[in-house]
Amino acid sequence: METLDQIKSRIEGAFPGAALQIIPNESAAQQPSLVVDNASAFAVARWLRDDPALRLDYCSNVSGVDWLPAETTTKTKVKKLVNGVEQEVEEVTKTARPGYLEAVYHLYSMSLKHGPVILRLRTLDRAEQNQVPSLTPLWRGAEFQEREIYDLFGIRFDGHPDLRRILMWDGFVDHPMRKDYVEPDDYDYEPTPHDEVLEKAQKHQGTEVSA
């Protein structure tokens, strides 16, 4: 199979307006991934599925990732006058990075027996602009996995055929897999509390509860 750099170059040739970025992976798997902008994502994904040299006809896994706002620090060496003498000093620049959510797709070719190509779609933020295009119309196996990510992370998949909660109930508030999620203090209903749940239940019941 082609390298991700080669695939990226061919996508840029087919879709000149697409914004693409390769994200390296320093883990043992050494599997870099490709971020594509939301405006081009569906067309690029369809191209990955239909291109004769790739034929990525199988989406094995879709997962969600929550990136909280963060601050990046950059150190650079600059020359400055210090007490009238030019010296090389280190300047530190801090840049705020807004938070966002990601949907990560692992794509394989069953017909050509290669892969994966890892595709990432990013939301603009973690609040109102938290949508990405659904890829379920291209890979039907992504349907329940996108619903799970919607349920647990809050990503809205535009174009999904049946976007609703799949694990939590309809009236549930918030998304339990987000890194800043705070679980509700409602352990008064717990019938068989134990360990950490036991301590929380005791606060509601006001008496010792046997484990």
Model confidence pLDDT, tens digit, residues 103-132? 999 999 999 999 999 999 999 999 999 999
User: How large is the average pLDDT for residues 64-78?
Assistant: 91
User: How large is the average pLDDT for residues 6-24?
Assistant: 97
Using CA atoms, how far residue 149 sits from 17, 101, 182, in Å, is 28, 10, 18
Which pTM does this prediction carry? 0.83
Handedness of CA 173, 174, 180, 183 (dihedral sign): positive
Model confidence pLDDT, tens digit, residues 75-87? 888 888 878 788 8
Phi-psi region of 154 (alpha: psi -120 to 50; beta: other; left: phi over 0): left
The DSSP call for residue 31 is: -
Domain boundaries, the chain: 4-67+101-180, 185-211
For residue 209, name the pLDDT band (cuts at 50, 70, 90): very low
CATH code for the domain defined by 4-67+101-180: 3.30.460.80
pLDDT at 157: 98
